[in-house]
Amino acid sequence: MSASGSLSVDLSGATAVVTGSTRGIGRAITERLLAAGAQVIGLQRGTTAIGPGHRCIGVDLSDPAARGQAVRQVLAEDQVDILVNNAGINLRHPFEDFPLEEFSQVMNVNLEAVVQLTQELGRPMLERGQGRIINIASMLSFFGGLDASAYAASKGAVGQFTKSVANEWAGRGVAVNAVAPGYVATELNVSLREDTARNGEILGRIPAGRWGRAEDIAGAVLFLTSEGADYMHGAVVPVDGGYLGR
Active site residues: 151
Cα–Cα distance between 174 and 178 in angstroms, integer?
A: 13
CB 184 within 8 A of CB 143: no
Cα–Cα distance between 150 and 22 in angstroms, integer?
A: 24
Cα–Cα distance between 224 and 237 in angstroms, integer?
A: 10
CA 116 to chain centre: 14
Phi, psi of 208 (to 5 degrees): -70, -15
Cα–Cα distance between 105 and 92 in angstroms, integer?
A: 12
CB 18 within 8 A of CB 38: no
